[in-house]
Structure 1
C-alpha cells in the first residue's frame, strides 16, 4: 500500500460523503494524475476500496499539495507524505482549499483532456473562468462549490461507469427550455478502469456545472417556517395564518408536472405492463421484510402494507413509465422570484446508477413530495409527542398543502395524482418504510414521524 493510500484509508471514513461507514476495509489502492502544477499543486485520485464482505467502491479524491502546513486549512488536512529525498508534502482536500478550485473551470472553458479526464462545456452560457470557488457546507454524498453568483459545481464522489442522471436530465430539460431547472453549463468525465484494467466501459461522470440561482429560498425552510407560524397562532387554522404555504405548494405541483411533461417529451417512455406492476409489488415487499429486521415496530403495520402492495400487483391503472427525478422532496427545490426550480436529478445516490436511469412512474416523485409535506408538518412534534392540539394542526397543515400540490399538478398536467391511485399510495408507503430505516439508524427520536404516517396509510381500508 502506498503512503497516500494509507492516509486515505484513515481519512475517507470520516468524511460525510463516504457512503460505506461501518464496513470493514480489506484493501485500498489509488491512482492519480496532476490537474494543475501551479501553487498549490492539484492532483486527482481514483481511490478503489474493497471490503471484507466482498463489495467495493471507487471514489474521486482531488488533493492539493502544500510545502508547509497552513492553520487555516486544518479542517481539510489529509496527512503528510515524505518523498525519497526526505521532502515533506502536505495533502489537503482540494475542494476545501480555495486556491485549488480555479483549474476546474479553466479546463472546462478550454474543453481540455487531462490524463484520463475529459471536460465538456455545454457551450450555452458564460463560465466564470479564473474565479475561485467556495465550498457549500451542506455537502452529503457529493461536494459542491459556488463560484461567485454565477455557477455551482458539483463533484460526484462515488464513481460508476455511465452518464450520471443529473447531467443527462438537466441537459435534456435545457434543450426543452424548461423554466424550472438551473441550466447545465458543462460536465466532466473520467475514463473507467475495471478491476482487470480494461478501459472498455463507459466513462464515469465526475462533476457538473450549473447556473447558480441567487436569491432563492430552500423549499424545506419555507415550509417549516410556515408550520412554525401556524403553531404560534393557537386559534387560527392553516388557511388563516400569514405564513400559509398552500399557494406555493400549488405552484410547486405545477412546476413538478411541467418537469415531468418535458422529460416525457425528450427522453424515452413506455407503457407499464403487468410484469412491471408485479415487480414493483415484489420489490416493495422485499424492502419491507428487510426493514422489519432493522425496525421491529414495522411488524405491526406489515399486514396492512402487504395489502397495499398487493393492489399494485393486481393493478390495471394506465401508467406511462418515463424518466423521473427519483428523490423529490422539499429540500430539492428552490423558490425564486419567478417560480420554483427543481434540483438534483441524480436519484438516490446509494442506488446503482443503472437502476437510477430506469423508467419509472411520475407517481414516485409525487409520493416523495407528499411525504416531505408530512415531515415538514410533524418534525416539530418530536419534542412534544403528546401535544394533541399541535398534532391536529400538523395534520391540517399537511392535508392542506398535499391537496394544494395535487391541485397544481392536476391543473398543469390534466392528471389528478391524488385521485385514489393505488400506485401512489404504495409509493408513499414504500417511502415511509425507507424513512423508518433511515431514522432508526440516524435519528431514532424522529422514528415516530414515518411510523405515524404508516398508521394512517394502512388504516384507510
Structure 2
C-alpha cells in the first residue's frame, strides 16, 4: 500500500474513533502534561522560524489555546501522527498595546524519523504523553500533507477544527512545500492548488479568506477564489488556512520587473495592465462590501496614526529625524482638508499591495494575491475600510524599489511605470488616483516611513532605497 493510500485508511479509521482521539494527548485532560513536555523543544525551535514575529525578545513561556489530534498515533504504530496546536508565546511587552502572539503549529510525531525528513526535525520528547517520540515540522511530510488535503475533501469538524469546502477536490495530488514565504507556510498540491497556512493567527476572519470570497461572489476573476479553508472553533473563531487554485506557469510582478530592468526593457504596458487589474478589484470590493466616507473625525484618526508611526520610526532610525518636519507636512495637509469638511471614500482594500503580490499568467492576465494585509498590523486595522490610494501608494513604492535595486539606478524607468499604473487605474475606475494629490502623497509617505523602519531592522543594506524616497517626499511637501 502506498503512503498516500495508507494515510487515507488512517483518516477513515480516525473518523470512526474521534471520541478515543479526544481522550489522548490533545484532550483537555492531557493538555497540561502535553505542553509541559513540549515546552523545552518549542523554546529552542519556535524563535528560529522565519514566521516567528517576536524575534529579538525572549520567550518567557507558553500557554495552550487548543490542541487537536488530526491523526492519532497509538502505541502500536510507528507513525506518522499529526498534532495541531494553537500556542500562545509569552514575551515581554513590545508596546503598551501589544499582546502575546498566538501561533499555529502542525507537529508530526513518529517513533523514528526517516532520513528524508531530517531537515524537519524539532527534537525528541523527553517525557509526558509523547515521551520517546520524535517531533518534527509536519508540513514537510508528504503523508501529513496528503492527510490535510483529505480533510478538505471530506469537510466537517474534528476537535477544535472545522474544515469547509466550496468546490470538489480531486484525490491523489502530490504535495510540495514552498520555501519562499516569510510570515506563513504554503503547500502546493499537484500544481493544481496552493494551501496557505497562517502561522500567526488572530481572532476573527482573516482578510485573505474574507476578501477573495467576497470577490468570488462578485464574479471578479482577478483573484483566485477559495476552494476550501479551515478554522478553529475556540472562544473566538480563528482562520487557519485557505486552499486556492495554483496559477501554474504564472510569474510574479517583482521578478518580471527585475528581468525587464536587466534587459533594458520598458515595463510600461505591464504597469498599465496592473493599474487596470487593481481598479477592477477595488470596484468589485466596493460593490461587495460597505463603503463609508472618511469625514472629519475619521480623517483625524487616519492622520494621527500616520504621525504616530513617523514619530516611532524617527526614534528607532536617527537618519529619519532631519526629514520629520517635511514628512509631517504631508500628513498635516490631509488633516487640514479634513477640517474644512473634505471627505474621502473608503472601502476594503488589499492593504499590502506591491509587485510581489501580483501574478501574470502565461496568457498575460494579471491577478492579485495575498490579501492578508501587513501582518505586523492588528487584524481590526487590516479589516477596516481605507482609501483606495493606500494600495496605489504601495504599488508606486514598489516600482521605485525595483528601479533602485538595479544598477545603475534608472529613475526614469520608475517614473514611467508609476504614470502608466495610474493611467491604467484611471482607465478602469474612471477616476485617477493622482486627482487627490494630498491623500496620495500622505499614503506614499506613510509607506516609505514603514519601509525605513523595516529595512533598518531587517535589511540595513537596503535602507538607502526608502531613504531616497524620504528625501524626495520631504522636499516635495516642504
C-alpha distance in structure 2 between counterparts of 1:6 and 1:139, whole Å: 26
Distance in 2 between residues matched to 1:244 and 1:24, nearest whole Å:
47
Q: Tell me which residue corresponds to 2:271.
A: 249
Q: Distance in 2 between matches of 1:222 and 1:84?
A: 51
1:299 maps to: 321
Q: 1:91 aligns with which of 131, 135, 146?
A: 135
State whether structure 2 residue 115 is matched by structure 1 residue 75. no
Contact 2:37 2:127 in 1 (8 A): no
CA RMSD of aligned residues (A): 1.7
Distance 1:407 1:85 in 2: 62
Alpha-carbon distance, 1:283 to partner: 1.2
Instruction: Report the equivalent of 1:216.
Output: 250
Q: CA deviation at 1:86?
A: 9.7
**Pairing partner for 1:172 from 192, 201, 214:** 214
Moved more, 333-342 or 253-262: 333-342
Is structure 2 residue 112 aligned with structure 1 residue 63? no
Q: Distance in 1 between matches of 2:177 and 2:336?
A: 49
Whether 2:88 is the aligned partner of 1:48: answer yes
Cα-to-partner distance string for 1:21-75 (whole Å, 9 max, x where unaligned): 1112221133522102374111111112111338411111001111112222122
Deviation, 1:85, is 9.7
1:119-138 to structure 2, matched below 5 A, reads: 119-123=163-167, 126-138=168-180
Q: What SS is found at the alignment partner of 2:60?
A: strand
Alpha-carbon shift at residue 130 of structure 1 (Å): 4.0
- Structure 1 unaligned regions, length at least 5: 193-198, 231-242, 382-389
Asked whether the 8 Å contact 1:105–1:128 carries over to 2, the reply is: no
Residue 84 of structure 1, CA deviation: 6.6
- Are positions 1:416 and 2:432 aligned together? yes
Equivalence map 1:268-417=2 (5 Å): 268-315=290-337, 317-336=342-361, 337-381=363-407, 390-391=408-409, 394-417=410-433
- 3-state DSSP class of the match of 2:306? helix
Cα separation, partners in 2 of 1:9 and 1:87, compared to 1, 3 Å: closer
* Contact preservation (8 Å) 1:217, 1:335: yes
Q: From 444, 462, 466, give the equivalent of 1:446.
A: 462
2:289 is the counterpart of 1:267: yes
- Call closer, same or farther: CA 1:246–1:49 in 2, change over 3 Å: same
Distance (whole Å) between structure 2 residues aligned to residue 281 and residue 116 of structure 1: 40
Q: Deviations over 1:217-248 (max 9, x none)?
A: 11000011111222xxxxxxxxxxxx321001
Q: Alpha carbons of 1:299 and 1:114: their partners in 2 closer, same or farther (altered >3 Å)?
A: same
Is 1:149 aligned to residue 191 of structure 2? yes
Q: What's 2:67 paired with?
A: 32
Once the two structures are TM-superposed, the CA of residue 339 in structure 1 deviates from its matched residue by: 1.1
Q: 1:334 touches 1:340 (CA, 8 Å); kept in 2?
A: yes
Within 2, Cα distance between the matches of 1:23 and 1:87? 29
TM-score with structure 2 setting the length: 0.87
Give the Cα–Cα distance (whole angstroms) in 2 for the partners of residues 133 and 352 of structure 1: 32
Shift of 1:5: 2.1
Tell which deviates more after alignment, 447-456 or 316-325.
316-325
Q: Deviations over 1:140-167 (max 9, x none)?
A: 1110000012100001111211110110
**3-state DSSP of counterpart to 1:2:** helix
| In 2: Cα distance, 1:416 partner to 1:59 partner | 41
- 3-state SS of 1:163 partner: coil
Name the SS of the counterpart of 2:434 in structure 1: coil
**Count of residues paired in the alignment:** 429
Change in Cα spacing, 1:86 to 1:155, as seen in structure 2 (3 Å) is closer
Q: Distance in 2 between matches of 1:352 and 1:160?
A: 8
Gaps of 5+ in 2: 1-34, 74-78
Structure 2 partner of 1:19: 53
Aligned in 2, Cα 1:176/1:84: closer, same or farther, shift over 3 Å? closer
